[in-house]
A = this chain, B = another copy of it.
Amino acid sequence: MSVLVVGSVGIDRIETTQEDRSDLLGGSASFAGLAASFHAPVSLIGIVGDDFPAHHRAVWEKRKIDLSGLQVAQGKTFRWHGRYEENMNNRHTLSTELNVFADFKPELPHAQKKLPFVLLGNIAPDLQHLVLDQMEKPKFTVADTMNLWIDIARPRLLELLPRIDMLILNDSEAALLTGESNLLRASRWLRERGPRYVAIKKGEHGCFLSGKEGAFAAPAIPLDKVLDPTGAGDTFAGGLTGYLAGQKEINLSTLAHGVLEGTLLASFAVEDFSLNRLASLSPKDLETRRKELSRLINPHP
């Protein structure tokens, strides 16, 4: 079944202690859409300016992503400039230019309103609501969020919770939103307010998934080298939602496998800048690392 992925599309400039790279394809929908496309047909909903280069668009087209819901507006594409510290965990936003994204109103083409799986990528809760307002009873809705929205749009984010099936956020965001630093209590707090499932991401420490049937803990895949962590969370959410769209049932077991697929794709995403590594992934690359991940969590290898 198909997945509707909505989020930001941007052009990034990213500095690490080693490199300074410009004109990179970025944004939550870019990563999440590409990741989901490894498992399901994807329709991408977003907005770009008339400066958006054809070679960026080609990255999605090559993976047969439906771009009929990608608006092209007069003006410049959203731009973000960030810098990572040596440890690759701490990052600083040096500049954000919303440009055409400032007036983004998701408008779903008729066919997209019926899609069964929805990933509300990391954008303002108002926009996430606007997408759900247009959908006709999706089978499963996943939402991602970030500290910015918890800080400036908390009421709207809380109103979103009863409308979604699963919330994805990281551990510090979960603590900020719930007031609980304990994973069990934070997850329970969130599930009591709507979503049946919650995935709390812990960066290099993996992810804690829970629902009323129980919990699943996935490690991250230890990597020798991380070039650019941008988009890892979006890739995780996209890989997870794409995987679910291919399953007959959604339950704790299929979600746990979804978390592992998200983990797998995210581990590739950070090995190069932008979507470069994801875009060049072969089925064999995926299969080799999938086996490695399976051994990593299995005490009977």
A176 at the interface (CB under 8 A from B): no
Task: Determine whether the beta carbon of B219 is less than 8 Å from that of A219.
Answer: yes
The majority secondary structure among interface residues of chain A is mixed
A217 at the interface (CB under 8 A from B): yes
Task: Determine whether the beta carbon of B185 is less than 8 Å from that of A224.
Answer: yes
Q: How many copies does the complex hold?
A: 2
Task: Determine whether the beta carbon of A214 is less than 8 Å from that of B301.
Answer: yes
User: In whole angstroms, how far apart are the Cα atoms of A185 and B222 in the complex?
Assistant: 10
A256 at the interface (CB under 8 A from B): yes
Chain B residue contacts of A223, Cβ below 8 A: 182, 184
A180 → B minimal CB distance (Å): 11
Chain B residue contacts of A184, Cβ below 8 A: 222-224
User: In whole angstroms, how far apart are the Cα atoms of A217 and B295 in the complex?
Assistant: 9
Task: Determine whether the beta carbon of A181 is less than 8 Å from that of B87.
Answer: yes
User: In whole angstroms, how far apart are the Cα atoms of A256 and B223 in the complex?
Assistant: 20
Task: Determine whether the beta carbon of B253 is less than 8 Å from that of A299.
Answer: yes
- Cβ < 8 Å to B, chain A residues 269-300: 295-300
User: In whole angstroms, how far apart are the Cα atoms of A204 and B301 in the complex?
Assistant: 24
Which of these, B181, B295, B299, contacts A260 with CB under 8 Å? Answer: B299
A296 → B minimal CB distance (Å): 5
Task: Determine whether the beta carbon of B217 is less than 8 Å from that of A299.
Answer: no
- Cβ < 8 Å to B, chain A residues 214-239: 214-217, 219, 222-224
Known: A185-B224, A224-B182, A224-B185. Is A297-B295 also a contact (CB below 8 A)? no
Chain B residue contacts of A253, Cβ below 8 A: 299-301
Task: Determine whether the beta carbon of A217 is less than 8 Å from that of B301.
Answer: no
User: In whole angstroms, how far apart are the Cα atoms of A208 and B214 in the complex?
Assistant: 23
Q: Which residue of B lies closest to A293 (CB)?
A: B217
Chain B residue contacts of A206, Cβ below 8 A: 205-206, 217, 219
User: In whole angstroms, how far apart are the Cα atoms of A301 and B183 in the complex?
Assistant: 21
User: In whole angstroms, how far apart are the Cα atoms of A260 and B297 in the complex?
Assistant: 11
Chain B residue contacts of A63, Cβ below 8 A: none
A114 at the interface (CB under 8 A from B): no
User: Can you name 13 A-B pairs with beta carbons within 8 Å?
Assistant: A183-B222, A184-B222, A184-B223, A185-B224, A206-B219, A208-B222, A214-B301, A216-B296, A217-B297, A252-B301, A253-B299, A256-B298, A257-B299
Closest 5 CB pairs of A and B: A217-B219, A256-B299, A205-B205, A183-B222, A184-B222
Sample of 12 more A-B contacts, CB < 8 Å, known A215-B222, A256-B298, A260-B299: A87-B181, A185-B224, A206-B206, A206-B219, A214-B296, A214-B301, A216-B297, A217-B222, A217-B297, A219-B219, A253-B299, A297-B297
